[in-house]
Amino acid sequence: MPDLKPGSHLRILSPSSSIARIGGFDANLSAKKALEKLGFSLSFSEHYDEHDMLDSASIASRVADLHAAFGDVSVDGILATIGGFNSNELLPYLNYELIAQNPKLICGYSDTTAILNAIYAKTGMQTYMGPSYSSFKMEGGQPYQTASWLKAIGQKAYDLEPSPEWSSDPWYDPSQPRHFMPTDWKRYNSGKASGTLIGGNLSTFGLLRGTPYAPKPDRYVLFLEEAEEDDYIEFDRNLVAILQAYPNPQALVLGRFPKECRMTPELLLYILDKHPVLKEIPVIYDTDFAHTQPLFTITIGARVTVDADELSIHIEK
C-alpha cells in the first residue's frame, strides 16, 4: 500500500454519520481548504451528504461509496467525514476481496473503529485511526494533529509524541471558546513490550466481539479510548468486556477522557487496579488519542513498541 504524499487524491465519504449532521458541505469548507493547502486533491463520494432519520445514509449507499472508493484507481486514500454510531452495520456487506486487491489508506476515528479493525481482520491491510475530514477545520491544536497525521501516512516507522497542550471543548464550533491544558502522558505500570496494534474507541471496538470482524493477532497491544457519550461507569464495564475478549495484551495505551465522561484520576486508578493483568504489562494513559484534541494518528495492524518507563510509543508499518 503506497503512502500518501502531497499530490495524492483523497476520497471523502461518510461510513457513519452524514456530513449533514455537522452542518453540510459549506460548513466544512475550511477542512477542504486545509487539505488542499497541504497539497492533496479531494473528491466526495456520491452519498456522503445523504441522511435519514438517524443522520446517516442507507447501508446500501454507504457500502456503495466504500466500494467505489476502493475500486477507483485514481483514489490514493480515503477519509471518513466524521464518526457516528452505526458503521458496524456495513461489515457483512463489504467486499473484502475488492478491498484486499485495491489496498489504499483509509483513516478516521471514533465509530470508524469498527470498519478499520474489520478491514484489517479480514484482509490484513493496515488502516489508520486519526483525523477525519471534518477534523481539519479545527484551528487550535491543528499543527500537532496535522504533523502527526502526515508522519503516520508518509513514513514506514514513526514515534508518537505528546502534544504541547490539549482541550476537551467543542472544537467544531468556532463560536465557542477553547480551553487548553498542558499535556501529561502518565504511567500506570512500567515495562516495555511490542505487538500488533489493534483497538480504538472502546465501546465501538467492543461491538466486534464474537463476530468474524474482530482482529485476532497472536501478540497484540490494545489502544483504547472512550467518547463523550460514555461515562466512567460505561468505561468500567466496557474495559472488563474487552479484557475478557482479549485477555493477554502485551501493553495497553489509554486515551484521555473527555470531560463529559466525568472520569477523575482516583476513579481511573481504582478501575485499573481491579485487573491483575494490567499490573503485569506496560500501561500508559492520558495520551493524545481520539476524543480530546488534538489527536495523534496510529496504524492498526502495525507493530508497536510501548515503553512505559520512557513514556514512548514507536510504530513500524
The Cα-based distances of 63 to 67, 91, 213 in angstroms read: 6, 9, 16
Q: Respond yes or no: is residue 291 known to be catalytic.
A: yes
Q: Distance (Å, rounded) from C-alpha 298 to C-alpha 296?
A: 7
Query: Which of the residues 14, 56, 168, 225 is marked catalytic?
Result: 225
Decide if 178 contacts 234 (C-beta within 8 A).
Answer: no
Active site residue 225: yes
DSSP percent split of the chain into helix, strand, coil, nearest 5: 35, 25, 45
Which neighbouring-strand residues pair with 78? 11, 106
**Active-site residue (options: 14, 18, 110, 135):** 110
Nearest to 49 by CA among 79, 90, 19, 83: 19
Strands (E), the chain: 9-13, 41-44, 77-80, 105-108, 127-129, 157-160, 165-166, 181-182, 186-189, 192-201, 220-225, 251-255, 283-287, 298-300, 303-307, 312-316
Catalytic (active-site) positions: 110, 225, 291
